[in-house]
Amino acid sequence: MDKVKLDKAWIQDPWPLYAEMRRQGPLRRVTMPDGVPGWLVTDHAQARALLDDRRLSKNVVRARPLFPPNAAAGYGTRLSEHMLNDDPPNHTRLRKLVTKAFTSRAVSRLRPRIEQIVDELLDGIDGETDFIESFAFPLPIAVISELLGVPPEDHSRIRAWSKIFVSGVTGTPLAEAARDQDRLLRDLIRAKRAVPTEDLLSDLVHVSDEGDQLSEDELVSMAFLLLFAGHETTVHLLGNAVYQLLTNPKQQELLRGDPGLLPGAVEEFLRIGSPIHIATLRFTTEAVSVDDVEIPAGEFVMISLLAANADEARFDDPHELDLTRPAGGHLAFGHGIHYCLGAPLARLEGEIAIGRLLARFPSLRLAVDPAELHWRTSTLVHGLRQLPIIAST
Ligand code: HEM
């Protein structure tokens, strides 16, 4: 079967290729837009099985030599050596320690603060605005900074670095942002070691499991992972949800009429607009057969969560937004040992944000024709660059 070169047009509209791929077989050899070769998976059952397959490694140090020259930019720094980019037994050890600190109590403790931040951001919306810039981008970074215990005076720096990390820039700006963030996190960790505070970073500094603790380097990369993993993903949960509501007025009316539908609606937003398009780095440590196709050892496997969530073998009419469907079983939070640690927080943010947005503005509509909207050209995230809306009370 032909190897497919994925380009920017594919990111704007991946559906024709995904439909064709599913007709032709379980896997397709591809080259990603950044030149990285691999195997693309679009089928829900195969995606789920491969996310849980221990023959696929996520160890970034072992992966680096597999990248073509200049293509591993995002994986080049020490900050990328965190548990999402590692395998058992180290992943198990790190996940156990962080799970002890990142409890459901820690998440539900945040509810009143999230409500307050949401209301403050909504206060700033009047008439026409870019929903991504004015609401979806600032909300999650404020919430994670709060969760970690980053002092308010440092929030704007965290926000500025986050913009750099998600923009895809490389070279000096990326290196400087990584260095400055590393420095800020180390200072914070030392301060919290000296004087414990009521927040996740302080809990992570002091957590121990049978005498085992996180080293300073591990704390820095864990904090970086939480900031990074919890930010842009949630931005696009919110952006994609509002985009879906504005392009499906009947479903918007349904939700306005019955706010009890919100938890299920958030699952459907996650399914239909998976904020992570292709799951993060994975490569085969030995030959792996999928149906009758063999992936040799040492090759990248790209699992499209967006495609898997639109697999008609798993979900009826997958391209229809249906806020009453049982959308559980979607893969937007991944599957297996790396299943999203922040899923309860993301769901809470989604429910509060969408619920309060609808309650505040009886009329919400797109300010442009849907055809004028553009998706970000990242292969990791699936989200709109801008979402101009008109909100009226
Ligand atoms: C892992 C999605 C929000 C923290 C993951 C994975 C996915 C995901 C798909 C697994 C990636 C893979 O296996 O390749 C999402 C989505 C979110 C979201 C769609 C929002 C809608 C958050 C938040 C946090 C967070 C708010 C924390 C504050 C993490 C962490 C991991 C992870 C730490 C790594 C888990 C591990 O390696 O064991 N997320 N995430 N995420 N997520 Fe999330």
What ipTM score was computed for the predicted complex, to two decimals? Answer: 0.99
What six digits make up the tokens of 286? 């030995």
For range 293-315, the mean pLDDT: 96
- Which has the closest alpha carbon to 306: 334, 328, 340? 334
Query: pLDDT band at residue 307, thresholds of 50, 70 and 90?
Result: very high
What six digits make up the tokens of 341? 């640690």
Query: pLDDT band at residue 81, thresholds of 50, 70 and 90?
Result: confident
Average pLDDT, the chain: 93
For range 321-337, the mean pLDDT: 97
Percent of the chain with pLDDT over 70: 99
Residue 71, pLDDT above cutoff 80: no
Percent of the chain with pLDDT over 90: 79
Centre of ligand 1 to C-alpha 174, Å, is 22
Q: Distance (Å, rounded) from C-alpha 75 to C-alpha 174?
A: 12
Centre of ligand 1 to C-alpha 253, Å, is 31
Max avg pLDDT among 1-15, 214-228, 336-350, 369-383: 336-350
Which pLDDT value is given to residue 163? 81
Centre of ligand 1 to C-alpha 99, Å, is 13
- Ligand 1, CB within 6 Å, residue ranges: 83-84, 95, 144, 225-226, 229-230, 233-234, 237, 275-276, 279-280, 332-334, 338, 340-342, 345-346
For range 192-214, the mean pLDDT: 93
pTM (two decimals)? 0.96
Residue, of 210 and 364, whose pLDDT is higher: 364
Q: Which of 224-233, 269-278, 356-365 has the lowest mean pLDDT?
A: 224-233
Query: pLDDT band at residue 208, thresholds of 50, 70 and 90?
Result: confident
Which pLDDT value is given to residue 136? 97
Q: Distance (Å, rounded) from C-alpha 296 to C-alpha 392?
A: 56
Q: Which residues of 230-242 are buried (b: 16+ CB within 10 A; e: fewer)?
A: bbbbbbbbbbbbb
Eight-state DSSP code of residue 93: H
Task: Identify the residue whose C-alpha is closest to ligand 1 atom 30.
Answer: 341
Residue 120, pLDDT above cutoff 90: yes
Which pLDDT value is given to residue 165? 79
Torsion of CA 102, 270, 57, 11, to 10 degrees: -140
Per-position DSSP letters for 8-50, written without gaps between them: HHHHH--HHHHHHHHHH-SEEEEE-TTS-EEEEE--HHHHHHH
For range 358-386, the mean pLDDT: 95
Mutation to probe ligand 1, out of 60, 267, 333, 382 (largest number of atoms < 8 A from CB): 333
In ligand 1, the atom with minimum distance to the C-alpha of 334 is: 9
φ, ψ dihedrals at 300, nearest 5°: -75, 145
Which pLDDT value is given to residue 1? 61
Query: pLDDT band at residue 180, thresholds of 50, 70 and 90?
Result: very high
Q: Which residues of 2-24 are buried (b: 16+ CB within 10 A; e: fewer)?
A: eeeebeeebbeebeebbeebbee
Task: Identify the residue whose C-alpha is closest to ligand 1 atom 7.
Answer: 333
What six digits make up the tokens of 200? 């996740």
Which pLDDT value is given to residue 74? 67
